[in-house]
Structure 1
Amino acid sequence: MRHLRVLCAIADAGSLHRAARELGMAQPSLSTQLRRIEQTLGGRLFTRGRTGSRPTPLGHIVVSRARPLVAELAAIVAETRAAAARAADGPRLRIGATASRALPGWLRLLRARVPAVEPSLQMDVSANALLRMVAEGRLDLAFVHEVEGSPLRVPAGLCLRVLVEREPQFVTLAADHPAAARREVRLADLAGDRWMVDSTVDGEWDALCRMLRRAGIEPDLLHGDYLTAYSLAAIGEVVTVSQPTARPRPDLAIRPLEGDPIGVRLLLAARTVAELDESCPELEEAYWEAARQSPAYQEWLRRGTTSTGWSPAHRGPGDDQRVLASGR
């Protein structure tokens, strides 16, 4: 790696003299080192003249391959040093999560309750990966969603608490889409639309396919992250699923789907019930704080409570699920 750093420095500086100065070494030593590298690789990497040093065709190939490796190593060193510094500052609560509007409020409430313990956040599109990290001791908590019809692979021994038993998934479409005029969107109104979904999110691609095929729609699906999906939905190129807590935008309409055909279960995972007890109240408060900021979700909740008596699942310590060696 030291040799690769030397080659990048020479290519960037344009001369052995300037590269040696930047590397903090004498020019004769750098020249000797470059000759050894060239002997090892079997060809000249730089042409040297009065105007400086320029990469040869072989040098261009080697330097282009070296740059990302050198940059990655520098990033690893920086991140490791930062992690070590944080560890030295005091205890941390290591949280993993899939995407949720509740996260900023949760972190804020945790910091307010226990200022001495700094929460750290690691995001991942894979709920299964986050659960494995909790089981392996690399995270203390994981806030994840389980897509209906695609059960998570929960490692043995984890404790789970259900925040919401079934959160409906809404549809996001352009504000001027004909279906946006409806209070609830029928899948039949979207039969001619192309959908975009992030297939890296555990279960979401399969769930969307199942939902559309049950409605008699052969899905026209595109893979993409949800930031891109929202941008394309705003100009009418696609429609996409969204969490009901998504905040409104003037160029987008966020609507419930008629019959709530797709849903997720929101779970908090830890290795002990005590860890759940310490963090779940703040998460629950943060979630419903985010829900209050979504007019579409608030209207859905009012309709559901009035017509069916629906209410979110609130579970105490006695309702936790402990996953044993035999499975879920």
Structure 2
Amino acid sequence: MTSRLTVEDLTLTETVARHGSVGAAAKELLTTQPSASRRLAALERRLGVRLFERDTTGARPTPAGRELARQAARLLADIDALPDQVLAATSAASLSVGTIQALAPMVFTALSVELDHVTVHPEIDHGPVLLQQVHDGLLDAAIVTIADQTTVPRGLHRTAMGVSPLVLVLPDGAPALGKGARPLAGRPVLYSTFDRTGETVRQRLSALGARPLPAPTIEAGLRIARHRRSCALVPELAARWYPAPGDRIQSSPVPGQVALSLVTRPPGSPVPADALERITARVLGAGQAEQSARVAGPSPRSVR
């Protein structure tokens, strides 16, 4: 193909195929048969393929002509619907929101439930990239965990949403923690956080005698820990969103928490305060709290 097809090309092909005649197509398109024939021949030369077999009885599409006519009908229908879709978009509430990969299931579920009247356009990327996109006007907002661990572009507004403490998940079959100052001595611990504290967590686990193992993702870390019947150190919200029967959720032996922030441009937040409170509760796992308690069962050190 030597040039891009035009709407006129698509319309001509679809009309000739539908009528089975260049003359009938020319009449519908308010042109002459010689003019329609010249345009069709020129299109075939540009494409380098014959689209119709033409004789005194009419015009029969070749396989290439049938395919082009089929695609043309679909594209022309989309074009016809476009004005109404544009008008609908101007009246519909929409919000472009970005977050990191690890938080995406929680954040976009919460937004979908709590902002059901709003069309959310999701974006998933690294935290610093999302902050820059908010600054550049490419996103209305970003929900991140590094707003207090990095330089936020000048002029952006940060709203603290809430925190999720680190917890220790002991899957079904994993032995209880040891006693004393080194309860994890000699034990492998899968660990993962949503922020930049991973190295600090690793060092603290090592100081307790554990064998820290970085997890590929938080969900994968929990699955691996369950398979190995070992421990997993994750933010509490992850333990609530990805529970399993028999899990025991205990206070973390190392301090730490993940802080969620909504980053926007002034003058105000595109998310109403009451909706943001509900979104935060869902992201932090409030909707999964009862389910997690049921699957975990009673535990003297369970986090509530």
> TM over 0.5: same fold?
yes
Q: Offset at 1:142?
A: 0.8
The answer for the alignment partner of 1:227 in structure 2 is 219
**TM-score between both structures, scaled by the size of structure 1:** 0.52
Identity of aligned residues (%): 20
Preserved contact between residue 96 and residue 143 of structure 1 (Cα < 8 Å)? yes
Distance 1:87 1:211 in 2: 56
Alpha carbons of structure 1 residues 241 and 128: separation in structure 2 relative to 1, 3 Å:
farther
Preserved contact between residue 158 and residue 262 of structure 2 (Cα < 8 Å)? yes
CA-based RMSD? 4.2
**TM-score between both structures, scaled by the size of structure 2:** 0.56
Alpha carbons of structure 1 residues 212 and 304: separation in structure 2 relative to 1, 3 Å:
closer
Q: 1:243 aligns with which of 235, 260, 278?
A: 235
Instruction: State the SS of the aligned residue for 2:161.
Output: strand
The residue identity in structure 2 corresponding to 1:94 is S
Distance 1:187 1:158 in 2: 43
The answer for the alignment partner of 2:261 in structure 1 is 267
The residue identity in structure 1 corresponding to 2:96 is R
Q: 1:92 aligns with which of 88, 91, 94?
A: 94
Alpha carbons of structure 1 residues 178 and 255: separation in structure 2 relative to 1, 3 Å:
same
Q: 1:105 aligns with which of 91, 103, 110?
A: 110
Alpha carbons of structure 1 residues 102 and 92: separation in structure 2 relative to 1, 3 Å:
closer
Q: Superposed, which structure 2 residues align to 1:1-328 within 5 Å?
A: 89-90=89-90, 92-98=94-100, 99=103, 101-111=106-116, 115=117, 117-124=118-125, 126-146=126-146, 151-164=149-162, 166-179=163-176, 188-197=182-191, 202-213=195-206, 215-217=207-209, 219-236=211-228, 238-245=230-237, 246-247=240-241, 248-258=243-253, 261-275=255-269, 278-289=271-282, 290-295=285-290
Higher relative contact order (CA 8 A, sep 6+): 1
For residues 220-254 of structure 1, the C-alpha deviation after alignment (integer angstroms, 9 at most, x for no partner) is 32341223212211122653332313243115333
Distance 1:187 1:103 in 2: 40
Alpha carbons of structure 1 residues 128 and 86: separation in structure 2 relative to 1, 3 Å:
farther
Q: Offset at 1:266?
A: 1.4
Preserved contact between residue 131 and residue 155 of structure 1 (Cα < 8 Å)? yes
The residue identity in structure 1 corresponding to 2:245 is P
**Gap runs ≥5 in structure 2:** 3-43, 50-84
Q: Offset at 1:160?
A: 0.4
The residue identity in structure 1 corresponding to 2:161 is L
Is the deviation greater in 265-274 or in 284-293? 284-293
Q: Offset at 1:168?
A: 0.7
Instruction: State the SS of the aligned residue for 2:221.
Output: helix
Instruction: State the SS of the aligned residue for 2:153.
Output: coil
Alpha carbons of structure 1 residues 160 and 152: separation in structure 2 relative to 1, 3 Å:
same
Instruction: State the SS of the aligned residue for 1:190.
Output: coil
Larger Rg: 2
Q: Offset at 1:279?
A: 3.7
Alpha carbons of structure 1 residues 169 and 218: separation in structure 2 relative to 1, 3 Å:
closer
Instruction: State the SS of the aligned residue for 2:228.
Output: coil
Preserved contact between residue 94 and residue 141 of structure 1 (Cα < 8 Å)? yes
Q: Would you say how many aligned residue pairs link Structure 1 and Structure 2? A: 213
The residue identity in structure 1 corresponding to 2:213 is L
Alpha carbons of structure 1 residues 219 and 275: separation in structure 2 relative to 1, 3 Å:
same
Alpha carbons of structure 1 residues 158 and 235: separation in structure 2 relative to 1, 3 Å:
same
Alpha carbons of structure 1 residues 196 and 254: separation in structure 2 relative to 1, 3 Å:
same
The answer for the alignment partner of 1:79 in structure 2 is none
Distance 2:88 2:188 in 1: 50
